[in-house]
Amino acid sequence: MPAEPTQVLLTRHGQSEWNAQGRWQGHADPPLSPLGMAQAAAAAPAVGPVDAVVASDLQRARVTAEVIAGVLGVGPVVVDARFRERAAGEWTGLTRHEIDLAWPGYLEDGRRPPGFELDSDIIERVLEGLHAVHERWQGLRVLVVAHGGVVRAVERQLDLDDGLVGNLGARWLAVHDSWITPGERLSLVDPSQVSVTEPQEL
């Protein structure tokens, strides 16, 4: 018989210090802002009961996961680098204005700089991570705290595009042995407390 699917809530982290400044983060590792810490605590009730919590190794995701896990009484958080944000290459640490000055027209045309991790690269490791979660917690409910670029790459792989993902935005996924079924997109915090920032790889 096929294995029971694992219910995964794939979630973006709380606001980071660089989110607040409008800077592209990629693999850089700025901490959560005070608002991000508050968002993480406020999100826990909306997450509901889970059997495990997994996080990207970048601290904005890991700390978000630790705060939620602490409120829910679940843990320890399992850290998995496969869920880290896409690399932003030469745009790491820059604002949109700075990018427009140095690379005019790139953002509007969808072009990216050297070192930028494309969907085809990020999706391979993220799907590997999701199936590893399924193998370990088959048939259970797992919170995975990652990044906006990760959530959107998975959605595009599943032929979905519901727009940008705010801090603590999330997507339910049913992870089967060899495929994934998308569920509801939701926000785990009051939308009035979230600023959705363009571009998504912040």
85: annotated active-site residue: yes
Catalytic residue among 4, 17, 66, 85: 85
User: What sign does the dihedral 60-61-63-68 (CA atoms) show?
Assistant: positive
| Burial label, 161 (beta-carbon count in 10 A; 0-12, 13-18, 19+) | exposed
Angle at CA of residue 6, ends 179 and 47, nearest 5°? 125
**Residue among 13, 66, 117, 134 flagged as catalytic:** 13
Dihedral pair phi/psi, residue 18, rounded to 5°: -75, -30
Distances (CA, A) of 101 to 91, 95, 157: 12, 10, 32
13 included as an active-site residue: yes
Q: For residues 160 and 196, what is the distance between their CA atoms, to the nearest angstrom?
A: 18
Known catalytic residues are 13, 85
